[in-house]
Structure 1
């Protein structure tokens, strides 16, 4: 059985037939938030219910990077190489400084606590963008059941610390990513927990000073939903799905699929040439080498 499915014939040039999907770690409960540290040669990822961030290194395997992690979910790196993390347990976004100390980026908006920051990206102007759905406060599985004080929104934090809700009309924003030229912002709306909201990826136009407009439906994943995603250098969106990873072209058509035996939550590009796709999928971490290079900073 093939490990990929080409919908558009071009997708066959994206995969390498002798570079299959490999499971590199397993035994977790719900893995999320992968981020590659090229200078350290390692992958960090969250096991949310077990309240840990793990480190995977080629040849060395898995070790615990942070425990407790405050039920960390999404992770990324800023333009200075520092780890930026969404924490369900503390309802905040933090930055790990190069000396190991923790700086709080955001934990409230207009005097009210955030819900449970989920995923995060850093723009080239050093602004930090994150989603704040309610998933981490609806049960005690991925955080602490708590009162929701704010709508589920997308936020931008400017380098001077000013925070602004830039998208408030989504039911439950989840994964997010910029196009390579940063003129588009893709956001997954995975709907309210225990609800029947539509689940889809929308796209916003990004204007001067971080203003966004639009928010039109871009793509609907089937089966499953777009939880987390990343873009490659050509602007293709590589998204999580119930059957693996879907590759969607900038014009919104499905290019192809990488089939994974567990439900995928998120992914990132890494490896020596940013050609390796690391995939968090329910209880395991998978990887595949591609004939593509991802957008990953720094």
Structure 2
């Protein structure tokens, strides 16, 4: 069985010939939002239509972490190791405190309800950045069909100031997002509006400075499929979901190779013993593969 497809010879140094793509668990409806907790030795991920967050522990298996989850989608960890989650059902971003209490980070902007927060990252200064497309309110499959009150924007929350700002406002539907290792670049995917097959399917790159964001040119067009979610390795390569698996794109925007997965991939994250294990959520299953790369997100 072929697990990898190189379009640049360097990709062959990123993968290991004796490290296969493994299906860890299956039987879900639409899995998303993987996040690794190294200090707990567990992976959390969302099974959105079934309204639950799942937990996978090596050599133990899968169990329910939280149900109902308010149709949670993307997750990350903040600088104190707390779970930060995007919830479709409540149209908000929340933080799970160390004692299990839930704190609402954002649920509205300019006096209106958010759409359905999708993916989230936390910068080293503690600010929380999230995308707010309309996918979770367009049907009852991943939340509750509801009226859209706001355009689809990217937001930044400063928990210390208690402020929320719309920092990117020219997307059709922003989706996955991640910072480069030195946080000088913010990558944001635009996957187009629901039910529009001609909608955008690219990743844009923005320069990050104290003065805000600049640029925003198209960094890479994913083909086939669209970039739903992605993460970055320590060399700045982007590992993104696509219709045929996971694509590896270098910091110049060039496709280096693919990890082939037999289901439509939604998202990825790095984790495991050395942050060299790539966890892949793909339609009904969770997969993983050991790479000769390490992720940059909090372990």
TM-score class, shorter: over 0.9
Matching residue of 1:175: 176
Is 1:205 aligned to residue 207 of structure 2?
yes
Gaps of 5+ in 2: none
Question: C-alpha distance in 1, partners of 2:273/2:199?
Answer: 40
Alpha-carbon shift at residue 5 of structure 1 (Å)? 0.5
Q: Shift of residue 214 of structure 1?
A: 1.3
**Cα drift, residue 69 of structure 1:** 0.2
Which residue in the other structure is 1:135 paired with?
A: 135
Structure 1, gaps ≥5 residues long: none
Structure 1 stretches (4+) deviating beyond 3 angstroms? none
Pairing 1:53–2:58 present: no
Query: Alpha-carbon deviation of 1:199?
Result: 1.3
Q: TM-score, normalised to structure 1's length?
A: 0.99
Which residue number corresponds to residue 287 of structure 1? 288
Partners of 1:140 and 1:262 in 2: CA distance = 23
Write the distance in 1 (CA, Å) between the matches of 2:257 and 2:79: 31
1:52-109 deviation digits (Å, cap 9, x = unpaired) = 0000000110000000000000000001000000000000000000000000000000
Contact residue 105 and residue 159 of structure 2 kept, 8 A: no
Distance 1:185 1:123 in 2: 10
The Cα of 1:159 is off from its aligned counterpart by 2.6
Aligned-pair CA distance for 1:198: 2.1
Q: Distance in 1 between matches of 2:191 and 2:292?
A: 30
Root-mean-square deviation (CA), in Å? 0.7
Q: Tell me the CA shift for residue 127 of structure 1.
A: 0.1
The residue matched to 2:159 in structure 1 has which SS?
coil
Rounded to whole Å, the distance in 1 between the matches of 2:129 and 2:137 is 20
Give the aligned partner of residue 2 of structure 1: 2
- State the match for 2:39 in structure 1: 39
CA distance in 1, matches of 2:222, 2:290: 23
Which residue number in structure 2 is paired with residue 260 of structure 1? 261
Q: Which residue of 1 aligns with 2:187?
A: 186
SS in 1 for 2:214: strand
2:83 is aligned with 1:77: no
Residues 206-221 of structure 1 mapped to structure 2, 5 A cutoff: 206-208=208-210, 211-221=212-222
Q: Secondary structure at the match of 1:292?
A: coil
- Partners of 1:79 and 1:148 lie apart in 2 by 32
- TM superposition shift of 1:178: 0.2
Cα deviation 1:189-235 (Å, max 9, x = unaligned): 000001222211111111105x1111110001111110000000000
SS at 1:265 equivalent: strand
> How high is the TM-score relative to the length of structure 2?
0.98
SS of the equivalent of 1:185 reads: strand
Partner of 1:163: 164
Equivalents in 2 of 1:198, 1:40: separation in Å?
Answer: 38
Given that 2:241 and 2:268 are in contact with CA atoms closer than 8 Å, whether structure 1 keeps it comes out as yes
Aligned to 2:122: 122
Q: Which secondary structure does the structure 1 equivalent of 2:49 belong to?
A: coil
Distance of 1:274 and 1:10 partners within structure 2: 20
| Number of corresponding residues | 297
**Partners in 2 of 1:207 and 1:138 — Cα distance?**
35
Q: Secondary structure at the match of 1:136?
A: helix
